[in-house]
Structure 1
Amino acid sequence: MVKNEKTTGESCGKSNCCGKTLSVATLVLLVPTLILSVMAYLKINSVYKAAVELQFGNEANLSKVSEVMQTPAYQKRVAEGIEQQIAQIKTALSDTSANAATDTATDTDTISETTGDTASDSKALDTAAAYNDKLWDENSTEALQNFGLQGTPGNAVIDVKTGKYKAIGGAYPQSAFEEVIAKLQAGETLTTDDMGQAGTLTKDVLQKILKGAHYYGEEKAGIVVVEYSDILCPFCQRHFNAKTIENIVDASNGKVALVFKNMPIAGLHPTAPLGAKGAECAGQIGGTKAYYDYLTQAFTYKVFNGSNVADIAKKVGLDEAKFAACFTK
């Protein structure tokens, strides 16, 4: 039997006494703490619910995504993604070394132009504006919030009539895109899997995503593939240079279009923002054709600098003064 006042007459004053009661002073101190704890919990819970609704719509969708994330296929995809990131970091380190060599290059350098490591006939342009362009963060946020896409290349196959979409994260083969497109055209409901999440965009969100976009293909196409890409990402280069999406667009008789959005990741590819800025300026100056002509040239480079971005502009027929003015603002 536990000793307390009723059984022994001893005062229950030790802190480890099971029968000890709380003093009024203690209660006065504890109650506010408990109230604050409850309030903190409610606040955190409300933030959590808001985040879930923003990203997934509701907790049921979150549960579905969680189930997919536990599958072996998804775990394999994660492992592959880690390997891709490691490869990109190694490439970035190599690019950084190459870029350092560019800074000390002389007029007698004979390195291949497509590496971006040599001096050129073009005057070097100031690159600060390219690194500070807000568009890169806007595109990155757009890809993540609407499609759950992180990293490059990230693609979203969208039925513009219904708003239904399927995200495809990574340089998947052309057949994977063809299969998704066929299902959307057939009116099938797609599901989240190891390739990426599926869902439905509101009309307003879809219009915002496509506003001012450069279309490769017909603007009135029923299916649009939005590609978020980094020109210097080796996986993006493989994806773009193989014309993975362009081949589908060209064979679709106007039913499928591509919208390419620049999402340079400077942390992995330090000079990628320069190529992205060059492409955006090409689009502003020369329209859609100039935009994709610039991209086609840029995707053959391994590093960019203030000179070779201007060289590409010359190759696609852009006015030098207009390009310089756009690139540096």
Structure 2
Amino acid sequence: MNEYQRIYIAFVKLGEFLRAYCSSDVHEDQWSQKLEDTITLAQHKNGWFTKDNVEFALRSWGELLKEDTLSDWLGAYDVQQNRTKTVAVIMAGNIPLVGFHDLLSVLLTGNKVMAKLSSNDNVLIYFIRDYLIEIEPLLKDKIIFSDGKMEDFDAVIATGSNNTARYFEHYFGKVPNIIRKNRNSIAVLTGKETPEQLEALGEDIFRYYGLGCRSVSKLFVPAGYDFDSFFTSIYSYHPIIEQKKYENNYDYNKAVYLMSEFKILDNGFLILKNDTSYASPIASLFHENYETLVTLREHLKNDENQLQCVVCDGILDGEIAFGETQNPSLTDYADGVDTVDFLLKN
């Protein structure tokens, strides 16, 4: 086997391990026990990384790291055209393993990754690195984590906020780069949605406590929309308020809204506020009325650089089904920028 095939197989084996781990409650072998301890440590370091959310992320990656899935993904590219390089990757840490897709893309295109991890998500990524190196030792020299100033790289993939993006553009502007900024996800409702669709929308809203760019943070609804059916359908998610950090955000934001005399709707675990912004605080969901779907489509087209996902049913090209925002495929690239194509052409 050549070097590329060995790395490819290492990721396939990682997928097999993650699927086996997530499908069993008994973790007796060394690496399963180590992963169990890693999940516990991750939660201690970041209270948003609950066991349920971490295992959801692990399960999702386990399903994607299958030989046929990886083959279908990479089969659309000529990986052989790659010029081997070192790629600096600045990872976000808002949800578990959010930077893993970049690491996967860099390594499977034959490059070396130099990663700066977010302090919010460094435990899980370290485990993934160690497991991959155990399976395929040649990866030891291809995965480097940097704590200090990053130097001697040929390209950059950096994920951050609109504020950090200005710093990234200044610091990394002289090399080929992908610099990602803030994006949010929305849902468009017409009033014709089924209870099942609205319940599934709860997954798009509450998974990862709404911290991901694929988490729905705003609803567009027709004038006069009755939110009763929405609140009824998402009630099954009410245990989320038992998570202390979420509860604290809920209490704080509700107090701020009430003191500011904003008109809000509240069901005891989610606050709805009429607002033209896309990014709503934790435990809050913004909503805005639209006059017609024609004018809404034009509005969203103008704001497409601010949007990651649009959830609806039969309204827009590229729409995502209710309940599916947190199940991206390997070709669902952040900010719509094809990472693999970038790596192969630079």
**Higher relative contact order, chain-length normalized (CA < 8 Å, sep 6+):** 1
Larger helix proportion, structure 1 or 2?
1
> Same fold, TM exceeding 0.5?
no
> TM-score, with normalisation over the residues of structure 2?
0.24
